[in-house]
Homo-oligomer: A and B are copies of this chain.
Amino acid sequence: MKPEWIAADWGTSHLRVWAMEGSTPIDHAQSDMGMARVSKGGFEDALLALIEGWLDNAPVDVVACGMVGARQGWVEAPYAAVPTTPVQGVPIRVPATDPRVRAFVVPGLKQVAPPDVMRGEETQIAGFLDTHPNWDGVICLPGTHTKWVQVSANEVVSFRTFMTGELFDLLRGQSVLRHSVSEGWDEAAFSEAVEDTLSKPEQLAARLFSLRAADLLHGQDGSTARARLSGLLIGAELAASRPYWLGQQIAIIGAEGLSAAYAKALQPQGAFVEMADATTSTLAGLNKARNMTRETV
């Protein structure tokens, strides 16, 4: 069945596409041809490889968000500056040679001071706000680069990026801690570690190596070490982002397990946390962006 349009979430490491009927996904495909693996000039082919079976002779709209709009991406989609609605104006039209494809990229957002940028999360925020009209508060989007986003009157007012996910991956996979961190989880160790760095953030630097030493000297379990490492880093992030979330209504948009960890970390702080599914938000945001292309193109 030919879709009405095609949604694409094109990040650094993955390309995920959905065949859409209005706001409903009817088929899905994905590949590891993320922006980082595709060379300039190869984007159209990487896309066609996934959506070929959905095409016929009539041109179809493909609306994409994420790092595909970066300088090294398919086309550089200039950032919109905050404060702004998360998806503002018509997405950028991308030059495609295949006449069956009319491709668009949603621009990211920038903040001049302190300097910060996002690509992809603005679409999830737009999707969330589409189903939560007049929602004011703070949105947390946990991931490789977690974003904390202040939203008011349907605009992104300010935001801040934390490299928590990337730090966790590097420390767990490539630092000396890799010898002491395994799979598995220890809920109590996680909560205790969050509390540790949230109350004494200056101690983070000292506590990381303790995960190695506690293994060498006391045989600390690898799953405990994993939960503690995650808790120490998320606690440090919550200490730094406190001005964002303290006393605010909070929505977490992300993958289920990671969102649950953030919710668990925030609960003892008396925070009211609402959760939203990442993919649902992405598709709702891309649908909103697509409606803008139809109104004006």
Shortest beta-carbon distance from A173 to chain B in Å: 10
Report the separation of the CA atoms of residues A59 and B209 in the bound assembly, to the nearest whole angstrom. Answer: 40
**Does A27 sit at the interface, judged by CB under 8 A?**
no
Among B71, B163, B216, the residue within 8 A (CB) of A175 is: B163
Chain A 115-154, CB within 8 Å of chain B: the 1/0 string?
1110000000000000000000000000001000000000
How far is B14's CA from A178's CA once the two chains are assembled, in angstroms? 20
Q: Decide if A112 is an interface residue (CB 8 Å cutoff).
A: yes
Contact of A283 with B by CB under 8 A:
no
Question: What is the total number of copies of this protein in its complex?
Answer: 2
From 26 to 54 in chain A, residues with beta carbon under 8 angstroms from any chain B beta carbon are: none
Does A279 sit at the interface, judged by CB under 8 A?
no
A214 within 8 A of B: yes
Among A236-244, A265-273, A284-292, the stretch in contact with B: A236-244
The listed residue (B170, B175, B209) touching A161 by CB distance below 8 A is: B209
Question: Taking the complex as formed, is A275 at the interface, i.e. its CB lies under 8 A from any CB of chain B?
Answer: no
Cβ–Cβ contact B116 & A205, under 8 A: no
Interchain CA distance A240-B205 in the complex, whole Å: 6
The chain B residue sitting closest to A164, CB to CB, is B205
A218 at the interface (CB under 8 A from B): yes
A171 within 8 A of B: yes
Closest to A112 in B: B217
- Chain B: which residue is nearest A237 at the CB level? B205
Asked whether, in the complex, the Cβ of B174 is within 8 Å of the Cβ of A209, the reply is no
**What interface size band does chain A fall in?**
35 or more
Kindly state the separation between the CA atoms of A88 and B269 in the bound complex, as whole angstroms.
48
| Chain A contacts with B in 206-236, Cβ cutoff 8 A | 206, 208-210, 212-214, 216-218, 233, 236
Residues of B within 8 A of A162 (CB): 205-206, 208-209
Among A16-24, A187-195, A196-204, the stretch in contact with B: A196-204
Give Cα distance in the complex from A40 to B237, angstroms: 41
A114 within 8 A of B: yes
Q: Please report A residues at the B interface, Cβ cutoff 8 Å.
A: 71, 79, 110-112, 114-117, 145, 160-164, 166-167, 170-171, 174-176, 201-206, 208-210, 212-214, 216-218, 233, 236-237, 239-242
What are 24 A-B interface contacts by the 8 Å CB criterion?
A79-B217, A115-B214, A115-B216, A115-B218, A116-B209, A116-B213, A117-B212, A117-B216, A161-B206, A162-B205, A162-B208, A163-B175, A163-B205, A164-B205, A166-B175, A167-B208, A174-B174, A201-B201, A202-B236, A202-B242, A205-B237, A205-B240, A205-B241, A206-B240
